[in-house]
Amino acid sequence: MSKAIISPSVLASDLSKLSDECQRMIDNGCDWLHMDVMDGHFVPNITMGAPILSCVRDNVPDIFMDVHMMVSDPLKWVPEIAQAGGKSYTFHYEATSDHEAVISSIHSHGMKAGLAISPDTPSSVITDSLGNAVDLLLVMTVQPGKGGQKFIAGCLEKVTELRKRFPSKNIQVDGGVGSGNACQCAAAGSNVLVAGTAVFGSQDPKKTIQELRTAVDG
């Protein structure tokens, strides 16, 4: 089984000090930083885009930016996000009908490709060829669009199903994840845990990150 990757979602950070917040989480032992890009169209909210990511990259050069694109036109933003320092580009299955074109563009821009499914989307849409074409599968455990929502445990059935078909793939869960349900996520087969509120709201983020890691690695 793949090793734990802990990716705090910066949406729950003090965004006025974004670079410092990212550095703080790196100092506390995270692996990646999860950057939620929302376009106000695929989801109702607007968050950040390439100009902000590039400032973070300039201030925190060692960062691995795990960029979660909640946007209606995922193909459009690939060059800008790559230029801004994105390392992994995860787009939503629901946002496009030409998944292969987006994946191929992401790879040609030197990023890892991730494919996300929202809670109402079954795992069966991820065919073997689509799953094998990406580097990461993201199973949303809340409706995309905002932080701080309640974890939907029923989504973990999809993680179990995908883990059977993709034994060595990075499988990420995102939404309402924290120390209280990380073991459930890991038991279902997820090894990449995104946590916003749980980590940034913690009195001891280092301990919380360690707890999340232990849930996956044992």
Nearer to ligand DX5, 24 or 165 (CB): 24
Helices and strands, counts by H and E, the chain: 9, 8
Q: Catalytic annotation on 135?
A: no
Instruction: Out of 58, 128, 174, 204, pick the active-site residue.
Output: 174
Among 36, 39, 66, 211, binds Zn ion (CB under 5 A): 36
Examine residue 11 and tell whether it contacts ligand DX5 (CB under 6 A). Answer: yes
Q: Catalytic annotation on 36?
A: yes
Say how far apart CA 8 and CA 154 lie, in whole Å: 22
| Residue 174 among known ligand-binding residues | yes
Examine residue 99 and tell whether it contacts ligand DX5 (CB under 6 A). Answer: no
The count of other CB atoms within 10 Å of the CB of residue 115 is 22
Among 194, 209, 215, 216, binds ligand DX5 (CB under 6 A): 194
Instruction: Out of 31, 36, 39, 66, pick the active-site residue.
Output: 36
DSSP, collapsed to helix, strand or coil, labels residue 164 as helix
Nearest one of 195, 140, 215 to 28, comparing CA atoms: 195
Strand partners, 172: 138, 192
Examine residue 189 and tell whether it contacts ligand DX5 (CB under 6 A). Answer: no
Say how far apart CA 149 and CA 152 lie, in whole Å: 9
CA geometry: angle 177, 169, 33, nearest 5 deg = 45
Taking CA atoms, 67 is separated from 28, 118, 127, 167, 183, in Å, by 20, 16, 23, 23, 24
Pick out residues in 38-97 that bind ligand DX5 (CB under 6 A).
Answer: 68
User: C-beta of 128: minimal distance to ligand DX5 in Å?
Assistant: 26
The count of other CB atoms within 10 Å of the CB of residue 51 is 9
Nearest one of 67, 126, 65 to 100, comparing CA atoms: 126
Nearer to ligand DX5, 96 or 104 (CB): 96
Quick note: the x/- pattern for ligand DX5 over 132-151, rule CB under 6 A, is ----------x-xxxxxx--
Nearer to ligand DX5, 104 or 183 (CB): 183
Annotated binding site for a divalent metal cation: 34, 36, 68, 174
Using CB under 6 A, list all residues that contact ligand DX5: 9, 11-12, 34, 36, 68, 142, 144-149, 174-177, 194-198
Q: Which residues are catalytic?
A: 36, 174
